[in-house]
Amino acid sequence: MSNVVVIGTQWGDEGKGKIVDWLSEKANLVVRFQGGHNAGHTLVVDEKIFKLSLLPSGIVRNNTVVLVGNGVVIDLFHLKKEIDELKNQNIKISSENLIISDSAFLILPIHQVIDQLRENKKNTEKIGTTGRGIGPCYEDKVGRRGLRICDLFDKDELFSKLKELYSFHNIWLGAMGEEKLDPEDILENLLDLGQTLKSYVQPSWLLINRYNQIGCNILFEGAQGTFLDIDHGTYPFVTSSNTTASQAGMGSGLGPTDIDYTLGITKAYTTRVGSGPFPTEDTGKDGKLLGKKGHEFGTVTGRQRRCGWFDSVLVKQAVSLSSVKGIALTKLDVLDGFDQIKICTGYYLNGKTINYLPSAEKEQKRIKPIYEVIKGWKKSIAGVRNINDLPEEAKIYIKKIEELIKCEIILISTSPERSDTIFMKDPFKSG
């Protein structure tokens, strides 16, 4: 048995939800290890649509246990809403198949107020935050004033910590001319939600190590993508957590030597939501066509995604950052019908050719893509489940990507449906 980490190799929205759901059939435990409800997954199962943003994708599977790890930040109001919505769609959820880490940090209403005020008051280019309080919550975690799930079950302790946290943030709210917030307004709601969700709460590290010791398959589900990583992404246009594979153990309670395989999810073209550098963005008719065919709207925000061509420089860098051993290539069918398809093979910067994404913000904005153009295919590949049934041009495109990123493609998704997947290698048997 083995433990597999699934991460996005671009700017998120690579189609991780479908792949994780598909792989979760082989997993005994599916673990979400970072991020919050700013990251969404849309699953299409037997023509039913499920939209998830906190719960791991495996929750829609029968006989699969899912864990929301300590690295995730949790909005209790949203969590309860998501659970209720899934139950209304006849998904069975109980303490038998959903575990929430007792040390996960809480997103509070004051975090959302601060997040939205900061973004709205920016005079320069906005970060593109969803305004859901994820950043301020992580700040409180690092600042050692955050509240955790385990704090919900002692009223006096909870109120004491709430007052300290609200006092800290009210200084800034007052300085900005905003109304200060009262922790008493939220106390009873938090206590009630704590009792409602208490049956799901456990020390996650104990559970995950128990599964590991008895030789179960564990699937780690990342949120967002590599270049939204707080350390390795296009800073400051990033999220507030680490999105690379190394975070899987930290955000769940398992040591690094117990990770056997990292699967990188890679879209057959490139998209990005919000502000920030995007070297291969196409603002012309091809970019608009990619967005239309790919239904490129955010699951959480509904925002239009920016679209462009495949960037092999970025993906190759992501492969290195997370020791990716195999790639799941998604949305290949969106490229149906293009006469020509571009692949970025390098960048121009200050008159020189480079083969990596520079760290400096100004340099990231100045780089220009170097393209190789290959012939497209006219035949529809939507729903293809065998690689031999792909057009020759599609096979050439896949092979070219493998050569450029120095990593093999082991899965290919050809539609949003779970079953429309070309399966060439099992990550659980490849570690």
User: Nearest 5°: phi and psi at 99?
Assistant: -120, 135
Residue 100, SS3 per DSSP: strand
Distance CA 36, CA 55 (A): 10
CB-based contacts of 124, cutoff 8 Å, min separation 6: none
Query: Using the 8-state DSSP alphabet, how is residue 119 labeled?
Result: H
For the chain, what's the residue count?
A: 431
Q: Are the CB atoms for 299 and 49 separated by under 8 Å?
A: no
- 279 prior amide bond cis, ω within 30: no
Residue 254 has, within 13 A of its CA and on its CB side, a CA count of 30
Measured between alpha carbons, how far is residue 66 from residues 36, 129, 416 in Å? 15, 27, 22
Distance CA 334, CA 324 (A): 24
How many degrees, rounded to 5, is the angle at CA 323 between CA 254 and CA 69?
30
Active-site pick, 13, 151, 311, 420: 13
Distance CA 15, CA 40 (A): 10
Query: Using the 8-state DSSP alphabet, how is residue 346 labeled?
Result: E
Query: Using the 8-state DSSP alphabet, how is residue 319 labeled?
Result: H
CB-based contacts of 230, cutoff 8 Å, min separation 6: 238, 239, 240, 241, 242
Tokens 């859901």 label which residue? Answer: 132
Active-site pick, 37, 41, 111, 169: 41
Please count the other Cβ atoms lying within 10 Å of the Cβ belonging to residue 300. 17
Active site includes 13? yes
Active site residues: 13, 41
